[in-house]
Structure 1
Amino acid sequence: MTEKRASDIKGQPGLLRAALLGLCPRCGSPTLFEASARVALRCSSCGLDLGALERGGRLAGMLTALVAIVLILIAYAVETKLRPPLWLQAAFWAPVTVGVVIYALRLFKTTLLYASFERREGDEP
């Protein structure tokens, strides 16, 4: 098999790079996500059925809640130590929260999808 895998790219951790760029586990094309954190149904490059591999939708909500709790605790610590104005907090925390939640979901979904792909590839003869 001469296909280029996302984890074979030199100089970058495979899973982090795959989550950031949305790389397909089979061909390494950036077709894993059709929206910010929504997994595509099928890789448009190699035809891999990503919908059959994706699992963990229920756990994604729990991950989002955990990320929110951590960000709230950090925001509270910043508020008690520095006392920045409300407009500055809103201008900072709104984009940070969106970015952290989206990247956490991408990393989580990519990890589950890659594990499912590896398990399925190991089962095939």
Structure 2
Amino acid sequence: MSGAPWPPLSPLQTGLHGRCPRCGQGHLFDGFLTLRPSCAACGLDYGFADPADGPAFFVMMFVCIPAVIFGLWLEMAYEPPMWVHFVTTLPLILLSCIPPLRPLKGWLVASQFFYKAEEGRRVTTQDETVVPRPLA
């Protein structure tokens, strides 16, 4: 099964839908953000995947900061009681920050597979094949 040629699938398409980056059929997630050990459809081991804090970073930079700025603006402009923040700002932050985490994590995992990303390693001269260049 693993020797079959797999067509390249878009990381955006498979990742945002939480599908296997190799076959596009199996699911990536066991729970909300927990990755499965492998794909149930094609058997791809998801051990290569390490999105780390990437999804949280993107959510904080592009969604959470504007939501917090809204809360600060509301406080500075109107000085409302605390319950107004609980009714407006808190739901805005929760509803705009939590739902994007799963699609972003799926996209990062699928991108790691698609681009064959791996942990960096130091290259030594023993790892390289040195080919002498001819002199002019």
TM-score of the superposition, structure 2-length normalised?
0.57
**Bigger helix share:** 1
Equivalent residue letter for 1:15:
L
Runs of 4+ in 1 over 4 A off after TM superposition: 1-5, 81-85
Of stretches 81-90 and 101-110 in structure 1, the one that deviates more from structure 2 is 81-90
- Does residue 94 (structure 1) correspond to residue 59 (structure 2)? The answer is no
Deviations 1:8-32 (CA, angstroms, capped at 9, x unpaired):
xxxxxx726742x312212223611
Which of the numbers 96, 99, 103 marks the counterpart of 1:103?
A: 99
Which is higher, the Rg of structure 1 or of structure 2?
2
- C-alpha separation in 2, matches of 1:61 and 1:4: 27
Cα RMSD for the two superposed structures: 3.4
Instruction: Report 1 or 2 for greater relative contact order, CA contacts < 8 Å, sequence distance ≥ 6.
Output: 2
Deviations 1:20-71 (CA, angstroms, capped at 9, x unpaired):
x31221222361122223332222222211232x223144454454343332
Query: Conserved in 2, the CA contact under 8 Å of 1:4 and 1:28?
Result: no
- Please report how far the alpha carbon of residue 106 of structure 1 lies from its aligned counterpart in structure 2 after TM superposition: 2.5
Name the CA shift for 1:18/1:95 in 2 (closer, same or farther; >3 Å): farther
Equivalent residue letter for 1:76:
L
Q: Percent identity?
A: 26
Count of aligned pairs: 112
- Does residue 23 (structure 1) correspond to residue 37 (structure 2)? The answer is no
Deviations 1:52-97 (CA, angstroms, capped at 9, x unpaired):
2x22314445445434333211222244446665434323433432
Q: What 5-or-longer segments of structure 2 have no aligned partner?
A: 117-136
Q: What's 1:57 paired with? A: 52
